[in-house]
Amino acid sequence: MDREAIGTENIHAALDVLLNLPPLKKSPQLSAFLSYVVHESLAGRGSLLKSYTIATDALGRSTSFDPATDAIVRVEARRLRQVLQQIYADPTCPLDVRIDLPLGRYEPSFRQIAPTASAPPVSGPQEPADGLQESEQRYRALVEASAAVEWRSGPDGSLAQTFGLSARTGLCDSELQGFGWLDALHPDDRAATEALWRACCQSGTPLDTTYRVRHRGGQYRWMLGRAVPLESPDGTIREWVGTMADIDEQVRAAEALRTSEERLRLAMEAAEMMAWDVDPLTRQVTCSEIGDRLMGATTGPLDEFLAMILPEDLPRVLASLEPALRGESAYDAQYRIIDHEGRLRWLSARGSMVRMPGGGGRLIGVACDITTRYPEPQVAAQSRWMSA
């Protein structure tokens, strides 16, 4: 029976009942997952449900979420299917509309059912055993394809089973079990990681953290560790399921970028050079911190910055600036300003249009104070500017 025959109101009513049953009420993560996919489906967007949208819109992941390295959606989908199956198997289940999450997709299905108060309990999973085995094999293949390590632990956080960690670290499974896996972490990361993990196990909060792991060759690599709890029908944690994804290259690339940016910033400060950009559409200017020292401002409308330029220099500046804002040529100008303290300064500025990935562009450039190259008396220059 399709959802039109059941009725949107009846589906919403069934969802409200489900979300207030103990297994879902005690799991905000699963409740958010189910609520999101149902509402998206009823809004006609069920076919657009993907791991990325569920993770970022429902599960609180950032826009940098990568389904290839983070199995959170797949893990939570499996948990949700298990919980729904347990709810409908309960002979006291009060629902007459069944909401399921079919295997292999995230768009829910809706089916009218008779109240099950007098129905015998379902003795086992509705899927054939070979179907469950095939599903498990598919999941394992996805984990292996993503180069992630999968692991499972008891409610207290002690490692019970791992797939791939032994091959990475060179430690045997018996050495990793319990809390032995902490020995593979960088000494500087162990205490904080253990404290966070034990706190998650106590509160039932999903784990999301980074740490360095010693690999077989002796080198340490950054890993992203995530885990979610699997709950029993009574809401207690049955076990934890988690993944470790190698993010060493991303971390090192980000660190190299930060180092490069800091070096550039220090070099520009030493040269008293200011970075700036102009949005051609809004004509809004943004400058680096040195702009406050040079002009008394780091942001504002372009007209306010142009008003600082001496009138006799302004036409020359505009002749180069306006074509640059249209992307027709580069910007290159030398001119005088009266700064916020009434002092005359000579500035040299250069810039060019940089196209943005989403369309449009920004005029980006640098400017530096070259006043020492021009010995013109400041009082005379200020006098001419004041009388203009």
- DSSP code per residue over 11-50: HHHHHHHHHTSHHHHT-HHHHHHHHHHHHHHHTT-GGG--
Strand partners, 277: 286, 364
Res 342: pLDDT: 87
Residue with tokens 């993944």: 243
Res 271: pLDDT: 66
The candidate with the shortest Cα–Cα distance to 232, out of 16, 13, 30, 14, is 30
Region of 205 please: left (phi>0), alpha (psi -120 to 50) or beta.
beta
Res 380: pLDDT: 44
Average pLDDT for consecutive 10-residue bins of the chain (388 residues)? 77 91 88 92 88 90 82 86 88 87 86 59 46 50 57 92 85 91 95 94 91 92 91 83 88 83 72 87 91 87 93 95 94 92 91 84 91 62 47
CA angle 114, 116, 120 (to 5 degrees): 125
CA 270 – CA 266 distance, rounded (Å): 6
The candidate with the shortest Cα–Cα distance to 153, out of 230, 215, 101, 82, is 230
* DSSP-derived secondary structure letter, 373: G
pTM given for the model: 0.45
Reduce the DSSP state of residue 281 to 3 states and report it: coil
Res 306: pLDDT: 94
Res 375: pLDDT: 61
- 147-262, what's its fold? Beta-Lactamase (3.30.450)
**Residue ranges of the chain that CATH labels 3.30.450.20:** 147-262, 271-387
* DSSP-derived secondary structure letter, 282: T
What residues contact 43, with CB distance under 8 A and at least 6 apart? none
What CATH class is the domain 271-387? alpha beta
